[in-house]
Structure 1
Amino acid sequence: MTKAEEKFYEKGSVSDEIDVAISFQIIGLFSEGLYSSPNKAIEELVSNAFDADASCVHTVMSPDRSGDDASIAILDNGSGMDAAGLKTHWIVGESAKLANRKTASGRRMIGKFGIGKLAAYVLGTRLTHISKSGGKFYSTTMDFTKVPTAPGKGGISSNAGTAQPTMKLPLFELTEN
């Protein structure tokens, strides 16, 4: 694959990895139970932008959302996440929003459980975060098709001391281009 053919979620250079302890059962329970409608799933992703103090949020969708290359993008001018923030973000079921119920600007937070990102499972097979923080750009992608259906399956190692399989998400550092 040439550089021009590279998918947007594979751009940049890998600077680290994010450990995610998750099982397919958790994704199914949370996303299909709580976000059974695509509209509710998109609402959840927009709520995350609100919680990041965004004053402007755009939802952009492919005209044909049934195609293999279809996408839905939630673009906002919120506070963004750096590498450490993206790592914390992918601790499923935990959220800093529970301890601090106000945003930096004083808004009351909507989210609190750290599961809203799983709403994207209802919409497609992949969730990519592209974020700018401290003048740097970062990206990471959760490919839901690679979530193990059982511990130790799919080449994913088990996290020591837990029954949850662990996935490693590549953390990319991007240029503005």
Structure 2
Amino acid sequence: MSSLLNQIISNDIVDLKITEEAEDVFGNEDGCVHDFLDALKVNTSIKTARLTEDFLGCLRADARSKVLQALGKDLDLKEVTLGDALILVEDITHIIAKSPSLYSMDLHNIILQGQQEHFQALEATLHQHPNLKEFDLSDNCEPAVEDIDLERIKNAKNASACTGSMPPPLKKSTIATSA
């Protein structure tokens, strides 16, 4: 078992930063994250998580989703940085919704996968989160679906409080141009 896994299991780590491929981090050839998921389940000490560069991007989609879902179960999580991967919008929404102490999330170099209703759910979750103060969706984050407008997501924490109803659609407005 890797030193990092031992630190996670024994609650000796507060700031989790993983930037290398899973097989390099966990020391197994298949890049299996099962041990990492098991370690996250018992951990109560992680306050900040930075999963970027080769780590998320090199995981299979199902493994990446499981890692993000497991990260979202941490009730004391304060800060999250995710980058350099294809990520399901549902997984981001899950982390925010299930982490009541979260006050900062930074996303960069991400292709956001999901349908319009997933983006609407993320926007509503951002409006309703009691402690999230910073939500940074950098300019190099893009939706996988072309007709999704991310400006409302980017500005959701600056907008007035949500009334509880679903926000209107996030589709980009169609602008007619003459030739």
TM-score range, shorter chain: under 0.3
Bigger Rg, structure 1 or 2: 2
Per the normalisation by structure 2, the TM-score is 0.27
Q: Which has the higher contact order (CA 8 A, sep 6+)?
A: 1
Larger helix percent:
2
Larger strand percent:
1
Per the normalisation by structure 1, the TM-score is 0.27
